[in-house]
Structure 1
Amino acid sequence: MTDRTPAIDERRLWSDLMALAEITDAARPWTRRSFTPLFDQGRDWLRRRFAEAGLAVRLDAAANLFGRLEGSEPGRPVVMLGSHSDSVPSGGRFDGPAGVIAALEVARALRESGRTLRHPVEVVDCLAEEPSDFGLSCIGSRAMAGLLAPEMLDYRGPGGERLGDAIDRVGGDTARLATARRSDVAAFLELHIEQGVVLERSRTDIGIVTGIVGIVRLELVFLGEAAHAGTMPMAMRRDAGVAAARLVGFVSERAQALAQLGRGYVVATTGVIEVAPNAINVVPQRGRVVVDVRAEDAALLDAFVAEIEAEARCIAEATATVVERCATLSRATPAACDPRLRTLLAEGAAARGLSSLSLPSGAGHDAAFLSRIAPAAMVFVPCREGRSHTPEEWAEPAAIAAGAATMLEAVLRFDAGAAAG
């Protein structure tokens, strides 16, 4: 091979992305859930593509899939690129897979150019970034960060299978889970569709992520008293449905107020609302809500969650109900993207004649966990109407190629900077 400037092959990148998408549940495109036979098929396809690209392929103890391109200086830490290949049910073709295939294309561009970096480069497909049937997301990246706690391995799926057994079933080795923890990563970069409309509406090519929001999922259950809807006077009711509804309103209104404070991105959603006995002529005895709270500012996130808990108690007193349960189902702290990597991405975009802007990520990503062990940053590319987690999710081939080119330029600059240092 001759030594030439590495270049992204847009046609090849797109072809691979569409080929991986075809490994799906035909009745529910584009579905490839973690720990399913379709996920295994997708992984087999990726293994072949990694190997064909000349990468050394392996699975770690947490069933993360890697393809490695060696560097010229043994002992250098790894530049890691990638995302995830699993999807939500009836999801899209781009959320996750675009990042894996773009990372593969960067590695191929480097190898085909004859350019050997000082650092080794690893392409990673992280296990189960999307919320899995075991009630946990970002399983592989948690393990790399040393945050997949032993008790999590005992989480059960719908059929009763342990998470630990499922990881082993797809190629992991949870008896050796500690070996999945990484301390040799110099930088992690992840390409992703924006899942929002900022880039599209501003006609900007590249988004450079400032940080990834922290996420708290809070379950609250109000307990009242069931009664006949026609004969129980309003003043004497203990209506748990009313209590739940009041909390839903508070969460939305308070989130809107906090978003005006200038302390970064903050949103809140009550996506689960249940009442029992759920009959039209019965005053609800039980009202359950699950609230998803997200914010860039860790202190603001914690304060908002505390406000929700306090408001729930006030609502219970006002409605003659009780808060039967108030529990944090999951918590992920906000993750700031590395300033140096963000600068390299901005320089990389400019070198390719691409416009860029900085923006936060309101969604969770593997980069949030990998930022615990290494400098990490993310590249966003525009997606049509901000649609994501839906079959209509779409990004243009040129947009994904532009993101891959930006990432490639950043990798080259990072490696050169290490040499200069």
Structure 2
Amino acid sequence: MAASNTLVDGDRLWQDIMALADITEPGKPYTRRSFTPRFLAGRAYLIEQFKAAGLEVRIDTAGNLIGRRTGAKPHAKTIMMGSHSDTVPSGGRFDGIAGVVAALEVARALCDAGIELQHNLEVVDFLAEEPSEYGLSCVGSRGMSGQLTNAMLDFTGPQDERLGDALIRVGGNPAKLTEAVRKDIAAYLELHIEQGPVLEQSKTDLGLVTGIVGITRLEIAFQGAADHAGTTPMHMRRDALYAAAQAVTAIREQAEALASEPDGYFVATVGILTLEPGGANVVPEQAKVIVDIRTGKREKTLRFLESIDAATQDAASKASVERSSFKTLSDTMPMDCDLGLLDDLAKSADALGHSHLQLASGAGHDAAFIGQLAPAAMVFVPCLGGRSHTPEEWTEKHDIAAGAAAMFAAVRRFDERTPVTNQTHNSI
């Protein structure tokens, strides 16, 4: 349904999304990996648009691009909106980008209409929401929420560059990360494509997100011995892959058991399995498994980890190998979206004539980190076939405009209903 009774400009919003889509790695549509020259080119475009919208622009010490519009009471807290402009390899034109541009369009629409909020307003392009080449996702929102650790800054990527050094390259300052931590956020709103089929199949305009899963990534490694595949008897082998295969089976079985319980979403995926030395005629000496665990119930993650800890120790013993690693690579808490902001979005959608339903997010978002600092909520818009992280990712212009219109109205509702309180952190 086309947006009505709104001041947002769907054509202007669409033009920005398509302009960013053109900033891509040659032959790899649509790719702007964080920390790369293409990513910086995309940010240069956004900086131009932020400034043209009258926003005061800066990059904080965690590498987040921020455009600020001062409210009628400059010492008030800040209403924040945003998402991310980086992509997965050959990802898509809308994942993250639609949220940044929709937030920018809300700021522009307020300016065009001469509407002055009581609160300050910020539009944020969070750094590296997608898993980066340094083995970490949500780098910027981790930094803003005080969860980007020194150990994470030592993660290495291409040419063994430290994440901390890469952060400097994009305008951050790892030596002053505490300056990025915010205590002045009054509310956070984020628009995103659904990355699933529910809205399209139900012919619903907007999804109001009730919560975001917590994501835990686990590394499990086994150390055996490399031997000749033809001359080593089966009972004398120390086959690391044999242990890893048992681990994968245990992960699937335990995940299915937890998913079948009625009290909350749970999935676990083995997305990476690496072997060394990797010869067809060599018994694997080393095997490493990376597990992605997602749930809305923290206690389910803890139960899963306890079960897999025991299962992998048993697998190592059965295969006569050592379990050389069982460690958490990253860990984020599940987040419930704020009921007051969801009500603002629902009333705004109703006033605009947009249908809506509530649903949970099985994907991670920057909102999961910012929601630990302040009330937060998300609005989903439909995407074709529920597809995302692919060049075929597609969302209609009028759907994004509808989401932006609901955001615009919700920002005004929140600003009007919320008493102004002074900030406790100077964000500029």
Judge conservation of contact 2:255–2:266 (CA < 8 Å) in 1.
Answer: yes
Farther off after superposition, 16-25 or 250-259: 250-259
Q: Which whole-Å CA distance do the structure 2 matches of 1:419 and 1:319 have between them? A: 63
Change over 3 Å in CA distance of 1:42–1:280 after alignment to 2: same
Displacement of 1:420? 9.8
Indicate conservation of the 8 Å contact 1:80/1:188, yes or no. yes
- Give the aligned length: 417
Contact 1:209/1:379, CA 8 A, preserved across alignment: yes
Are the structure 2 counterparts of residues 289 and 154 from structure 1 closer, same or farther at C-alpha, using a change threshold of 3 Å?
A: closer
> Do the aligned residues in 2 keep the contact of 1:225 with 1:284 (CA within 8 Å)?
yes
Q: 1:292: which partner in 2?
A: 292
In the alignment, which residue of structure 1 is the partner of 2:89?
A: 89
Q: Which amino acid aligns with 1:160?
A: D
Partner of 2:418: helix, strand, or coil? helix
Aligned-pair distance for 1:236?
Answer: 4.4
Deviation at 1:91, TM superposition (A): 1.0
Displacement of 1:351 in angstroms is: 1.5
Aligned counterparts of 1:331 and 1:419: Cα–Cα separation in 2: 34
Deviation at 1:284, TM superposition (A): 2.5
Name the aligned partner's letter for residue 242 of structure 1: Y
Q: Which residue of 2 aligns with 1:184?
A: 184
Deviations 1:184-229 (A, max 9, x none): 1100001111111121222221111111111111111223344443
Aligned to 2:302: 302
Match of 1:250 in 2: 250
Equivalent residue number for residue 164 of structure 1: 164
Q: Tell me, in whole angstroms, the C-alpha distance in 1 between the residues paired with 2:201 and 2:256.
A: 22
In structure 1, how many angstroms separate the alpha carbons of the residues matched to 2:259 and 2:175? 45
Question: How far apart, CA to CA, are the structure 2 residues paired with 1:174 and 1:277?
Answer: 37
User: Which secondary structure state, in structure 2, belongs to the residue aligned with residue 159 of structure 1?
Assistant: helix
Q: Paired residue for 2:58?
A: 58
Give 1:11-30 correspondences, 5 Å limit.
11-30=11-30
Gaps of 5+ in 2: 422-428
Check conservation: 2:129, 2:366, Cα contact below 8 A. yes
How far apart in 1 are the matches of 2:24 and 2:130? Answer: 16
Partner of 2:354: 354
Aligned to 1:71: 71
Specify whether residues 173 and 225 from structure 1 end up closer, same or farther in structure 2 by C-alpha distance, changes over 3 A only: closer
Q: Counterparts in 2 of 1:138-217, with a 5 A limit?
A: 138-217=138-217
Preserved contact between residue 6 and residue 113 of structure 1 (Cα < 8 Å): no
Deviation at 1:261, TM superposition (A): 0.6
| Cα displacement (A) at 1:170 | 1.6
Q: Confirm whether residue 109 of structure 1 aligns to residue 79 of structure 2.
A: no
* Partner Cα distance (1:225, 1:364) in 2: 38
Which residue pairs with 1:274 in the alignment?
A: 274
Distance 1:303 1:328 in 2: 14
Query: SS state of the match for residue 112, structure 2?
Result: helix
Residue-by-residue CA offset, 1:217-245 (whole Å, 9 max, x unaligned): 11112233444434444444433222211
Instruction: Tell me by how many angstroms 1:107 deviates.
Output: 0.8
Distance between the aligned counterparts of 1:140 and 1:384, measured in 2? 29
Q: Is the 8 A contact 1:129 1:366 kept in 2?
A: yes
Question: Mean alpha-carbon deviation: is it higher for 160-169 or for 32-41?
Answer: 160-169
TM score, norm. by length of structure 1: 0.94
Q: State the one-letter code of the partner of 2:192.
A: H
The Cα of 1:123 is off from its aligned counterpart by: 0.7
SS in 1 for 2:99: helix
SS state of the match for residue 151, structure 2?
A: helix
Instruction: List per-residue Cα deviations over 1:357-402 (Å, max 9, x = no partner).
Output: 1111111111111111111111111111221111111111111111
Matching residue's letter, 1:412:
R
Deviates more, 1:90-99 or 1:280-289: 280-289
Quote how far apart the aligned CAs of 1:137 are: 1.5
Letter in 2 for 1:84: H
CA distance in 2, matches of 1:365, 1:420: 28
- SS across alignment from 2:187: strand
Return the TM-score normalized by structure 2: 0.93
Contact 2:77 2:420 in 1 (8 A): no
Q: Which amino acid aligns with 2:260?
A: Q
Distance in 2 between residues matched to 1:55 and 1:223, nearest whole Å: 54
Tell me how far apart the structure 2 counterparts of residues 320 and 165 of structure 1 sit (CA, whole Å): 41
Q: Would the alpha carbon gap of residues 242 and 174 (structure 1) be closer, same or farther in structure 2, given more than 3 Å must change?
A: closer
**1:52-89: CA deviations, max 9, x gaps?**
11222222222211111221123211100011111111
Whole-Å separation in 2 of the counterparts to 1:387 and 1:206: 16
Matched, 1:378 2:382: no
Query: For 1:326-379, what per-residue CA distance to the aligned partner results, in whole angstroms no more than 9, with x for missing partners?
Result: 121111111221111112112221121112111111111111111111111111
The equivalent of 1:36 in structure 2 is: 36
| Alignment partners' CA distance in 2, 1:240 and 1:177 | 40
> 1:165 & 1:317 partners in 2: Cα distance?
41
What's the Cα RMSD here?
1.8
Code of the aligned partner of 2:183: S
- AA at the equivalent of 2:280: I
Q: Which residue of 1 aligns with 2:220?
A: 220
